[in-house]
Amino acid sequence: MPTPSPTLHRPAPHPPLLTLDGSGLVEEIERYLASLPPSARPAIPYVCPLGSTLQPWNAGYPPPRRTPLDRLLRRPARPVEVTVAGHLRLTSRYLAAAGWLQGAMWDAGGRVCLLGAQAAVLAHGYGTPYTVRRARTQVMEVLHATGRPVPSPDSYNDAPGTTQADVHRLLDQAAARAGVLGI
């Protein structure tokens, strides 16, 4: 009867690999979070600690395209139709991409104020002057509804205590309002 060799050993088995799909961990966490009272849930959206992918300010909107007739008549492309809410979101994204400025519409470095960002979005072919006027009306409505009675969005932009985050928050609130109104 042969005896096993004492030098032969077997490696320890590896623990089974857990995957997000197979472990049930995600579902367990979601159930736990859903069981928390609303006061214990975070009031802000989750922000990935790994960062985000840089995108152009006009991502999700097609660029204006000149038709053969536009080229023949040497005219600019027809503007891309955007809603008032879309214009306000694009304005905020343009401000974030170009940089924010107080006291002037733009500077040599390309930074813009609120009005400069709206003008730039329009100049890049998104929306019409009518869209911009309606967007500015929504911004004014939010300013007055939140207890900031200023004569124009530009005076709010240039106020000493206003920050870039304040302007983005204002544009986000105005876009949400326009979205609720369906414009």
Per-residue pLDDT tens digits for 29-57: 778 877 878 776 666 666 666 666 678 89
Task: Give the number of other Cβ atoms within 10 Å of residue 119's Cβ.
Answer: 18
Does residue 14 carry a pLDDT above 70?
Answer: no
- Tell me if residue 130 falls in helix, strand or coil: helix
Using alpha carbons only, how large is the chain's radius of gyration in Å? 27
Does residue 170 carry a pLDDT above 90?
Answer: yes
Question: Sign of dihedral through CA atoms 51, 87, 81, 65?
Answer: negative
Q: Please, what's the b/e burial string for 55-80 (b: 16 or more CB within 10 A of its CB; e: otherwise)?
A: eebbeebeeeeeeeeeeeeeeeeeeb
pTM: 0.69
Does residue 16 carry a pLDDT above 60?
Answer: no
Backbone angles phi, psi at 59, to 5 degrees: -60, 135
- Tell me if residue 80 falls in helix, strand or coil: strand
Q: What is the DSSP letter of 39?
A: G
Q: What is d(CA 108, CA 93) in angstroms, rounded to the nearest whole number?
A: 19
Per-residue pLDDT tens digits for 140-150: 999 999 998 89
Per-residue pLDDT tens digits for 92-119: 999 999 999 999 999 999 999 999 999 9
| Contacting residues for 17 by C-beta, under 8 A, at least 6 apart | none
Report pLDDT for 34: 78
Report pLDDT for 9: 57
Q: How confident is the model at residue 175 (pLDDT cuts 50, 70, 90)?
A: very high
Q: What is d(CA 158, CA 146) in angstroms, rounded to the nearest whole number?
A: 18
Structure tokens at 66: 């000149």
Report pLDDT for 30: 75
Report pLDDT for 47: 64
Backbone angles phi, psi at 109, to 5 degrees: -80, -5
Q: What is d(CA 179, CA 183) in angstroms, rounded to the nearest whole number?
A: 6
Task: Give the number of other Cβ atoms within 10 Å of residue 3's Cβ.
Answer: 5
Report pLDDT for 12: 57
